[in-house]
Every structure is written in C-alpha cells, then in structure tokens.
Amino acid sequence: MKKIINATPQAFEIDTDHTALWVIDVQPDFFERGGFADVGQGLDVRWLQPILPGIRELVELARSSGIRVIFTREAYRPDLRDVPEPWLRAPEHSRIGSQGRDNNGKWRFLIDGERGTELIIQTKPEDIIIRKASKDAFVRPFIENRRTDLRKKLSQLGLRQFLFTGATSGVCGSSTISRSSDEGFESGIIKDLMADYDHGIHAAAMKNAGGRDQKWPWISACLTTADAVKRALAARS
C-alpha cells in the first residue's frame, strides 16, 4: 500500500509491501549500564535511552501495517575469528570480547550468545534478524548463522525502502544508511528515534544523511519523525 510520509527535503512516498522498519543495534552493549559502551568505552548511556519507548511503539505499528521489521545486532563469534585484526589491539578494557567490570550482569563485550548482544525489543518470527560482525551491516552480515549477501537478500525479499531507527547515529547508523543509498535503496531516517552518545555527532549524522538542507537528499535519504510516520500509516490511502 502506498503511504506518503511528511519529510525533508521532500515527502517520502513508500509502498508498505516493499518497505522495512530497520532497528539498528538496540542491545545492552550499547544501551545499558555495565556493557561495552558504558564500561568499555566510558560513554554515557543516558543519551540513548529516550528513544526506546518510541521505537517499541513503531515496531508494533509497523507489524500491524504490513511493514517488515529488520533488527541488526553487532555480535562477534566467541572465538573472535570474525573481528578485524586491528580491533583486537585495542586496550584490554575496551576490547571486543573483554568482560564488563560492573555488578549488574557480567558479560563479554559484543559477543554472540552473551547478554550484551541480545535484542532489547521482543522479536517475532517474521522479523528479519541480522547478526553483523561489522559496523556497516552490509559488510559481514549473518542470517541464521549463515554469511549473507545482504543487498541480494533484501532485494529478494522485495525490499526497496527503509525507515531507520536505533543507534548509534554516527557509527553503525551512518555507515549502514549511506551504504543503503550506494546499493540503490531509498531511506527515511526517523530522526527522533536515533541517538548517539556524542550530541554533535548525532546532529551532524542526521543532517548529513538527511540531505544537508539541500533540495534533494544527497545520499537518498529523507529526514522524518515518529509522528510523521504514525500519521502516514494511519491515513487511508
């Protein structure tokens, strides 16, 4: 079904049959105390948490509107074989695979099967769940433990358009949104449902991906809001 979402620099016309709501890396290692961001990197997780209620609500709405939901989670093999080698030279306390020093639940950072890489939002069997051993989800994605050509897979599923939410705006967000454009997909970024520990990086990432105040979105993404998506999906078309 066609829906027109109010957006800048221009409205984003989606076809719900070919659109997915993409939830990037909503996992304890990025959103909760005791995990990779908080303990390993010293980042302030308070600034990610305000987006969770809105994402949950939109996930429900997408499902009831016939829009597929994609969840990515950054998670590496316990033997670290799919971690790029230079990343393993990080200082011990901030390295993938190191262990949180906190009381509220110990887990190895960003490791598949550990609590830090579980999804915070309840998934459904029809959702597309991607483990990725990379920032950009297209670089080393796995579906059901099998390495996948993500561009091809998403195309085969009939997807052509994405609505992005999640974290962090500057790293996994920016790289995946930009890559989606390079791969020929169109995107809307739900800017009040994305977040980053660094406020300046969040603001710039939204502006950069969303067209930079130009007449046309340079990297094929529009900027929209949760309210605009809700209004569009509620409208009869």
Interface contacts to its own copies, rule CB under 8 A: 41-44, 46-47, 49-50, 84-87, 90-91, 94, 134-136, 139-140, 170-171, 174-175, 178-179, 181-186, 192, 196-205, 207-208, 212, 214-216, 218-220
Minimum gap (Å) between residue 145 Cβ and its own copies: 20
Minimum gap (Å) between residue 94 Cβ and its own copies: 5
Minimum gap (Å) between residue 126 Cβ and its own copies: 26
Q: What angle do CA 46, 47, 53 make, to 5 degrees?
A: 85
Q: Which is nearer to its own copies, 68 or 95 (CB)?
A: 95
How far apart are the C-alpha atoms of 161 and 216, rounded to whole Å? 17
Minimum gap (Å) between residue 162 Cβ and its own copies: 12
Strand pairing report for 221-224 and 186-195: parallel
Range 99-102, long-range pairs (CB < 8 A, 24+ positions)? 100/34, 100/35, 100/36, 100/39, 100/40, 101/39, 102/33, 102/34, 102/38, 102/39
How far apart are the C-alpha atoms of 204 and 212, rounded to whole Å? 9
Q: Which is nearer to its own copies, 108 or 140 (CB)?
A: 140
Q: Which is nearer to its own copies, 42 or 113 (CB)?
A: 42
How far apart are the C-alpha atoms of 229 and 226, rounded to whole Å? 5
**Residue in the structure block whose two tokens are 């990025």:** 30
Q: Which is nearer to its own copies, 49 or 123 (CB)?
A: 49
Minimum gap (Å) between residue 192 Cβ and its own copies: 6
- Round to the nearest angstrom and report the end-to-end CA distance of the chain: 8
User: What is the 3-state secondary structure of 103-160?
Assistant: CCCCCECCECCCHHHCCCCCCCCCCEEEEECCCCCCCCEEECCEECCHHHHHHHCCCC
Residue type, 40: G
Q: Which is nearer to its own copies, 84 or 158 (CB)?
A: 84
Minimum gap (Å) between residue 127 Cβ and its own copies: 24
Q: Which is nearer to its own copies, 128 or 205 (CB)?
A: 205
Q: Which is nearer to its own copies, 65 or 134 (CB)?
A: 134
Q: Which two tokens stand for residue 24?
A: 């990037």
Minimum gap (Å) between residue 134 Cβ and its own copies: 4
